[in-house]
Structures are given as C-alpha cells and as structure tokens.
C-alpha cells in the first residue's frame, strides 16, 4: 500500500494492524461494492467479540485514510482512485469557446455520446455532441449554432434522429440541462460525470436509443467495474429527472443478474 493510504488524522488514528488493511484490500478489491455488515463479518473472523461501534470507527478511519470509498448509505468499495475523466476533443473545445463568447454567463454542459463506446460491445454509427443549457436559452443557443452548421438539432424526436441526423460525429443536439445535474470541469469545460452518463441513458430512450436494451446493461456493468460510481449522486440526479423509483428497480435487476455470473 502507498504511504498516502495510511495518512489518517492523529486525533482519530488507530493502529493499522487492527485495521488489517492488506487483508481487507485482498478480500474486497475484486468486489464492486459491499456493505457495513460485510466489513463487520470480516473483522469478526479474528475478533469474534468485536462490537459494532468498533467496526463503525474503523470504517470511519478507513474512509479518512482513503482505503474505503463510501458510495451509498452503508455501502462501500475499495478506493481505487478511478475517477471518470471524459475526453474533451477539439470539436467540443471549439464549440465551447464560441458559446462562452456569445453567452458568457450561461450554464453550459457539453459532451459527446461517443463517450459510451468504451462500455459498449457494439459501436453505433451515429454520434452526437450534446450541448445542454438552461431551459430558457435552448432556442437561442440552437439558432446561434445553426448559423455555423446545418447539422444542429433542437430537442429532436425519434423521427428527426432517424431521418435527418447523418452518420458520423459532427451533429450537435441542443437540449435542456437538468438543474443540479452531476457535472465536472475538464480543461475548463463543464462536462459529464459517470453518474450523469448512466442516468441519462436510462431516462432518455430517444437520444440514447443506441444505448438501450442489452447495451445499457453492458454500459452499467462496465462503468461500475472500471470507475468509482457515487450511488447517492446517481440517485439524486435520477430523482431530479423523476425516475428514481424505476432507476432503483433497474439497478436491482443488474445486481441480481451479476450474482449468477
């Protein structure tokens, strides 16, 4: 383990031999997530009389020391520092520059649907750059971008996507940005997080038609295996999109199917 893993505040520090970090990492490193009760059972093997309060303190210290990462209520994973960092290509940089010059105070999230490719088994023929802005400004942004290219679409329906959006990566879709959507800044540009990628394909079957069905399941599994996914953040966003209950049920089906793999 790196020394940084052991940097726990002195006021809360407990002996690292009690934390049993090396064995803990070996036990859970290949597990996508686990719960407080699993950690309790882990420590109970060598300390049959260990108290739940003691385990809770150890969990706290493990989180503070960067060993564990909390991804839900009572739900954890081994911290791998696998933060999702999407690629910002030249087209996105160019679009963002134009938009920020024209709309300097507008909240803009911009990204490319080809970001899903690393999680998919079959690659789609169409890719879009999504420009998400505050609802009141979608038409203004659409007409502004339309002055540079004909391949710009405003909240397209299924028919427009199938008939009029060409193959390739140059098409731009302007749509509303859901308030409090989980975003991050990359190279000075506001773009998506892994949580937003996952919730968006679940909530929008039209724009993300190529990512539905078995592919969506692949995307969710691969994303969780490769990166740290904050479940609380996902749930808050799903709730903002009014799909929280359905989203929870979908996640449960994935969890159950993985138990039989």
Q: Does residue 257 surpass a pLDDT of 90?
A: no
Contact between 189 and 93 under an 8 Å Cβ cutoff? The reply is yes
| pLDDT tens figures, 214-240 | 999 999 989 987 888 888 889 999 999
Token reading at 231: 């479940």
User: What are the residue boundaries of the structural domains of the chain, listed by start?
Assistant: 3-78, 90-258
Q: Does residue 39 surpass a pLDDT of 50?
A: yes
Q: Which of 81-85, 112-116, 152-156 has the lowest mean pLDDT?
A: 81-85
For the chain, give the mean pLDDT.
87
| Beta strand residue intervals within the chain, DSSP E | 34-35, 68-72, 75-78, 108-112, 126-133, 152-154, 168-176, 183-186, 189-192
Token reading at 45: 């093997």
Contact between 238 and 204 under an 8 Å Cβ cutoff? The reply is no
Determine the CATH number of domain 3-78.
1.10.10
CA distance 95 to 98: 5
pLDDT in the model for residue 26: 87
| pLDDT tens figures, 79-90 | 876 789 999 999
User: Which residues, 6+ apart, have CB-to-CB distance to 95 below 8 Å?
Assistant: 110, 129, 131, 145, 172
- pTM recorded for the entire structure: 0.74
Q: Which of 55-59, 92-96, 169-173 has the lowest mean pLDDT?
A: 169-173
Averaged pLDDT, 235-254: 93
Averaged pLDDT, 103-120: 96
């Amino acid at each position: 383990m790196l020394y940084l893993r052991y940097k726990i505040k002195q006021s809360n520090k407990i002996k690292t031999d009690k934390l049993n970090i090396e064995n803990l990492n070996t036990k859970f490193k290949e597990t996508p997530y686990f719960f407080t009760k699993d950690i309790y059972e882990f420590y109970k093997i060598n300390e049959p009389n260990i108290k739940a309060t003691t385990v809770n303190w150890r969990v706290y210290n493990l989180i503070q020391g960067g060993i564990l990462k909390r991804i839900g209520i009572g739900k954890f994973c081994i911290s791998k520092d696998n933060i999702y960092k999407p690629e910002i290509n030249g087209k996105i940089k160019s679009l963002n520059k134009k938009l920020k010059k024209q709309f300097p105070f507008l909240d803009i999230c911009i990204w490319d649907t080809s970001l899903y490719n690393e999680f998919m088994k079959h690659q789609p023929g169409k890719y879009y750059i999504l420009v998400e802005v505050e609802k009141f400004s979608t038409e203004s942004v659409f007409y502004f971008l339309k002055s540079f290219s004909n391949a710009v679409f405003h909240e397209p329906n299924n028919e427009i996507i199938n008939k009029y959006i060409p193959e390739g990566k140059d098409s731009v879709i302007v749509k509303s940005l859901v308030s409090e959507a989980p975003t991050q800044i990359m190279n000075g540009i506001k773009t998506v997080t892994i949580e937003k990628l996952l919730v968006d394909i679940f909530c929008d079957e039209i724009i993300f038609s190529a990512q539905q069905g078995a592919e969506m399941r692949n995307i969710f599994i691969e994303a969780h295996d490769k990166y740290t996914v904050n479940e609380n953040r996902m749930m808050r966003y799903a709730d903002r999109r009014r799909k929280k209950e359905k989203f929870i049920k979908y996640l449960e089906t994935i969890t159950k199917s993985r138990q039989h793999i």
